[in-house]
Structure 1
Amino acid sequence: MKNFVFSEAVVMAGLRWTIVLIFMLFGLAKFAEYEAAGVAKIAAHYPLFAWMYPLWGESGASNVIGTIELLTGAMIAVGAFSARASFVGGLMGIFTFCVTLSFALGAPAFWEAGYGAPFLGSTGQFLVKDAVLLAACFAIMVDGLRRHTAP
């Protein structure tokens, strides 16, 4: 056990299937009323999503977001067998987490009231994990690119 090292393929598989699980769980949750209401608190006032709420309402907008998350998770899963799908799924994940991290700009309760930076408030605690998820999707995208261009 002293010289045992996990292969890159094993490490990437662990990363991939964990990210797939996250996208599937969060994507499915978007179809539930409680999650649609929670997402609307931030997304309904965010320019990228605000236009959806008058068109489709709280549930419809959340369903669209959930569908995108489920498709992203599916592409990352298929990426286990297809380098191109890994690249595209990873890129979709990067976009997803760049968007969620951008919510931090002006989000209510990002910093804890009365304390300020670096003390995270409830919104900050919810969003800051997305920095790691962004890095994981970047690794999945790079893995897909490497596999696609490998001789």
Structure 2
Amino acid sequence: MSIPTDQLRLQIAEKSAGSLSSLALLRWALVIVFLWFGAMKFTAYEANGIAPFIMHSPIMSWLHSLFGIQGASDVIGVLELSTAAALTIGAFVPVFSALGAAMSAATYFITLTFFLSTPGVAEATAGGFPAISALPGQFLLKDVVLLAASLSLLVASIQASWANAQKP
């Protein structure tokens, strides 16, 4: 079912729950994460650190063949810094509130797929899945919380009149 655009209203996420809310904490925490991780992607240390995740990912492995290890990391860095910018602008402009939250959610959805594609996530000596290794398993697990934060901002940024959307 589609919602006509005249029934969809974008707003700054924090405005949905009052002038100042816990959503502001989520927004600025995500901004810090994306700024920090995004900037790190331009270092060889980080590029080599994420290489195993990228090379085994059916969604992202093409980046290595197209750009190389550092180039792929640079592309991801640009995307992460762009997400930080959209989240920051989103504190003031409704469309960017939704855009930044959607970009953030997409990022964490993709990284959570690494659970399925990255070797060594399940810890064999502990009986296998659901026991997860410290690296990379527990490293990836934090993205569940970051995805939830992103989705919370996204939902709060989009308001729709569901009753009006269902009318013929």
- In which range does the TM-score fall when normalised by the shorter chain? 0.7 to 0.9
Structure 1 stretches lacking a partner, 5+ long:
1-5
Runs of 4+ in 1 over 6 A off after TM superposition: none
CA deviations on 1:55-94 (whole Å, 9 max, x unpaired) are 2211100000111111111111111101110101111111
Code of the residue aligned with 2:87 in structure 1: it is: I
1:119 to 118, 127, 131: 131
Does 1:128 find its partner at 2:141? yes
Aligned residues: 143
Question: 3-state SS of the aligned residue for 2:106?
Answer: helix
2:97 to 86, 98, 101: 86
Which one has a bigger Cα radius of gyration? Answer: 2
How many angstroms apart in 2 are the aligned matches of 1:46 and 1:86? 29
Higher mean alpha-carbon deviation, 133-142 vs 113-122, is at 113-122
Q: Larger RCO: Structure 1 or Structure 2 (Cα < 8 Å, ≥ 6 residues apart)? A: 2
Does 1:68 find its partner at 2:85? no
Shift of 1:9: 2.4
Is the Cα contact below 8 Å between 1:23 and 1:69 reproduced in 2? Answer: yes
Code of the residue aligned with 1:129 in structure 2: it is: K
Question: 3-state SS of the aligned residue for 2:20?
Answer: helix
CA deviations on 1:81-124 (whole Å, 9 max, x unpaired) are 01110101111111110100001003222122311233220111
* Identity percentage of aligned residues: 41
Is the Cα contact below 8 Å between 1:23 and 1:72 reproduced in 2? Answer: yes
Give the TM-score normalised by structure 1.
0.87
RMSD, aligned CA: 1.9
How many angstroms apart in 1 are the aligned matches of 2:19 and 2:120? 39
5 Å matches for 1:34-45?
A: 34-45=45-56
Higher mean alpha-carbon deviation, 105-114 vs 17-26, is at 105-114
Shift of 1:10: 2.9
Give the TM-score normalised by structure 2.
0.79
Is the Cα contact below 8 Å between 1:79 and 1:144 reproduced in 2? Answer: no
